[in-house]
Structure 1
Amino acid sequence: MEHLKPGEWVWAPDVSPSGPVMVYVDLSRQIGVVYRNGVRIAATTVSSGKAGHATPTGVFTILQKDAKHRSSKYNNAPMPYQQRLTWDGVALHAGGLPGYPESHGCVHLPYGFAKELFAITKLGVTVVVEGDAETHVRSSDNSLLVPFDAQGKPVDRTPLSGGEQYRWNPQLSPSGPISIIVSKLDQRIVVLRGGVEIGRSVAQVNDSDPGSHVITLATRDGKPRWIYVGLPGHGDDEGREVDESVINRLRLPRPFYEKVKAQLVPGTTILVTNSRVSEGPLQHLTVIDAIMPTP
């Protein structure tokens, strides 16, 4: 992937013809990767937000799709094959690829790649954005889990109280894909459905690895398996099943575990990160609620 030149991309859907799709964007390397059923099927160069317009990092879901979208903010500019990630304007779409971050916050893709990606995704597909464009942009100082209220304004998350072990509110989002964030720094787990937080819990995460990992629930030989997604820098992990010793590094209250377990389906994504999921500055991770702002 690192050998791709600006505007270049690779698309090999036959490697994994079916299964849930996940998109990963690495701002540090300015590349994007597409996985289906836990297997990488495509890679591309991207161009993310320039200085002053940083692309937010975090776990998102595709909220809207519009093949012929035009910007309501930037002089009706065409944004072909747009896939919205936030209601305030961040999206994946075809755009310029000069070899460095130059957008107003969106993730620009090659036109042909954007068209292919548009054809295989559906609303609710998980998109993970991580990294830092280094000298080009710096991470935002916003809170790490920043939902938007009905007016599209950021609001604070409610942390667990002193004696609260976990919280579970599945009625806040009755349907949609499940994404789980495991924070090694905070020793917390947050569960989102359709981009909306439905649960969080205290946890004990015994993992000294400083990096991030993404695993996805895939189907192999007719059985559900947790599979590593081979993120840039962890390419050797790609497609490998998560073994029991790794799973045992995570401990959480059994009632919460049972509630989460009942919701797991192929395509469920887990992001293990050093970012916070509670208040406090450090490595910033944004998770946007899929609540459409009112006019």
Structure 2
Amino acid sequence: MFRRLALALLLSFGGVEAEASTPFWGDRESTTSDVTPSELEPGQWVWMPQNAPSGPIVVVVSLTEQLAYAYRNGVLIGYSTVSTGKKGYQTPTGVFTTLQKDKDHRSSIYNNAAMPYTQRLTWGGVALHAGGLPGYPSSHGCVHLPSAFAADLFEVSPLGMTVVVADDADSPADVAHPGLLSPVDATTGAEPTVPRLHTGEAYRWQPELAPGGPLSIVVSTADRRVLVYRNGVEIGRTRMVLKDGDRPLGTHVYTVLGDAEADATGRMPASYEPRWSAVSLPGHEADAGLPMDPAEAARVVLPPPFIAAATPYLAPGTTLMVTDAPILPSTTGVEMTVVTNTPPEGDGGAAEAN
């Protein structure tokens, strides 16, 4: 009995020791959303999934900026500092899909090194995972993330998620330096081909491009534009006029509350009136539940036909992000390369870059 008890205690302590041997990298809590990606210090990150509670997810890693951006339903839900491959072990650019997920992965070739929240990108050893963040490229090819950010991303990421790795040399400018809206398609990783509104075109509304799925709306006072996404696809955009334009609207996120259901086409009943409620952002938790200010909402003037076309689609769960930052891309540049993730023959791809 004593030997069995001693063995149990030994195994228990051994498990604690193994768990404790996994380092924790980066900040433990999200930085306030007022901090822009370029202002993040090594190890810092921002996580705001309430910007788009559902929809397809895509991650863009900028090697140039040493930053990662996570988008859901076309809208930015998180960004983080990273550390990518150092000289001689450069992280490859291109379009990848996650091939495996392993929350407690350890390296088979680097002294059993901890690689928590691994999301494998290539069978040759490139992955997203929690790791060291010195403020410059330091890995053997993998993309190191802060531990808490890697955990949050791992939780919401589906297997097969699209990940785009970009830099100034091999990628379009708006992909190497992404913004509030996803610069790539969540399914293919290719740049969207949606044209800008041409001269004389006040708005565009094309719900048939995405017959179903969650709706996200983004209002930019800098660009004087409103863009609408459904299931990660842009289905509408319009010009807007901002009354008292020298005074900013600030950054806010709202969601539509209610329990009514849309019909098969995604339209709400004619008698339904959407009710907007603010959601909290990191650093602005007190905003949660506040109603939209009618006076501030009245400052945004949209074409009446656009309002009439879009309002029936404002189902409960629709999100609205208001920002004073620009959202339209500036230039394009070179094309991205799609990376072939065909497993190698033999062991199925056990190599790891770390």
TM-score range, shorter chain: 0.5 to 0.7
Q: Is 2:304 the partner of 1:254?
A: yes
Q: Is 2:140 the partner of 1:80?
A: no
Give a deviation string over 1:157-202, Cα, whole Å, max 9, x none: 3111222111111111112221212121221111111221111111
Change (3 A) 1:156 1:24: farther
Partner of 1:98: 133
* 1:34 to partner: Cα distance: 4.3
SS at match of 1:55: strand
* Amino acid aligned to 2:201: E
Q: Is 2:288 the partner of 1:242?
A: no
Measure, in 2, the Cα distance between the counterparts of 1:195 and 1:65. Answer: 21
Measure, in 2, the Cα distance between the counterparts of 1:200 and 1:210. Answer: 21
* 1:271 to partner: Cα distance: 2.4
The question of whether the paired residues in 2 share the 8 Å contact of 1:191 and 1:197 is answered with yes
Q: Is 2:101 the partner of 1:67?
A: yes
The within-5 A match list for 1:215-226 is 215-217=253-255, 219=257, 224-226=275-277
Judging by fraction of residues, say which structure has more helix. 2
1:192 to 219, 223, 229: 229
* 1:240 to partner: Cα distance: 2.6
State the identity %: 26
Change (3 A) 1:147 1:116: closer
Rg (Cα) greater in structure: 2
Give a deviation string over 1:125-166, Cα, whole Å, max 9, x none: xxxxxxxxxxxxx98567987445997443553111222111
* Amino acid aligned to 1:196: V
Question: Number of residue pairs matched?
Answer: 233
Q: Is 2:282 the partner of 1:268?
A: no
Measure, in 2, the Cα distance between the counterparts of 1:155 and 1:164. Answer: 20
The within-5 A match list for 1:125-274 is 140=176, 146-148=183-185, 152-154=189-191, 156-206=193-243, 208-210=246-248, 212-217=250-255, 219=257, 224-232=275-283, 234=284, 237-274=287-324
Give a deviation string over 1:236-283, Cα, whole Å, max 9, x none: 5444322211211111112211322222233322222334344547xx
The question of whether the paired residues in 1 share the 8 Å contact of 2:219 and 2:320 is answered with yes
* Structure 2 gap segments, 5+ residues each: 1-23, 53-60, 79-96, 106-113, 122-126, 159-172, 261-273, 333-337, 341-354
The question of whether the paired residues in 2 share the 8 Å contact of 1:183 and 1:277 is answered with yes
Judging by fraction of residues, say which structure has more strand. 1
Measure, in 2, the Cα distance between the counterparts of 1:265 and 1:105. Answer: 40
SS at match of 2:317: coil
* Amino acid aligned to 1:67: K
TM-score, normalization by structure 2: 0.48
SS at match of 2:236: strand
What is the root-mean-square deviation of aligned Cα atoms in Å?
Answer: 5.1
Partner of 1:33: 47
* Amino acid aligned to 1:9: R
Q: Is 2:55 the partner of 1:55?
A: no
The within-5 A match list for 1:102-117 is 108-110=145-147, 114-115=150-151
* Amino acid aligned to 2:290: R
The question of whether the paired residues in 1 share the 8 Å contact of 2:45 and 2:146 is answered with no
Give a deviation string over 1:64-119, Cα, whole Å, max 9, x none: 7963399xxxxxx96726499xxxxxx9x641253647588968242x66446655
Measure, in 2, the Cα distance between the counterparts of 1:155 and 1:37. Answer: 21
